[in-house]
Amino acid sequence: MALPPTYPQRSHSLMKAVPPLLIALRVMLGPVLLEAATHPAMYLWIVPILVLATLSDIFDGVIARKIGTATESLRVADSRADFWFYMWVCAVGQNRTCDGGVTRV
């Protein structure tokens, strides 16, 4: 009985999409973080969002270097994603401290 053929190129091409997807995830997590910070019912989501963003920041570069897809444009996109995510973090901090850290319900 013959074994089914393997498709290493397809799995490699799927892996090439992981670093850009991780960068896009980090960009999208910024507004989600602000939303979580402005609703008391969602406060428990703040730390997991920060952890997920940090892990995506670490592993996008690691994966890109490991599979050989690290390019200048990917590094620029990563830097821009970092910038925008941390701008959202600052917006959360500004939102939380404008009223003395007291959330009015």
How confident is the model over 6-49, as pLDDT tens digits?
A: 555 556 678 899 999 999 999 999 999 999 998 888 889 999 99
Report residue 96 CA to chain centroid gap.
22
Report yes or no on 11 lying in a domain: no
The whole-number pLDDT of residue 10 equals 59
Report yes or no on 58 lying in a domain: yes
pLDDT band at 5 (very low <50, low <70, confident <90, very high): low
Q: pTM value?
A: 0.76
Report yes or no on 103 lying in a domain: no
List the domain range (segments joined by +) for residue 26.
Answer: 18-96
Could you give the C-alpha distances from 31 to 13, 20, 36, 39, 88, in angstroms and in order? 30, 18, 9, 13, 7
- 102, pLDDT greater than 70: no
- 101, pLDDT greater than 90: no
Report yes or no on 12 lying in a domain: no
pLDDT band at 93 (very low <50, low <70, confident <90, very high): confident
Report yes or no on 105 lying in a domain: no
- Measured distance CA(21)–CA(9) in Å, rounded: 19
Give the pLDDT confidence of 52-90 residue by residue, as tens digits: 999 999 999 999 999 998 999 999 999 999 999 999 999
Look-up: residue for tokens 């989501």?
A: 45
DSSP-assigned states of every residue in the chain: -PPPPP-HHHHHHHHHTHHHHHHHHHHHHHHHHHHHHH-GGGGGGHHHHHHHHHHHHHHHHHHHHHHT---HHHHHHHHHHHHHHHHHHHHHHHHHHTTTTPPP-
- 1, pLDDT greater than 70: no
Overall number of domains in the chain? 1
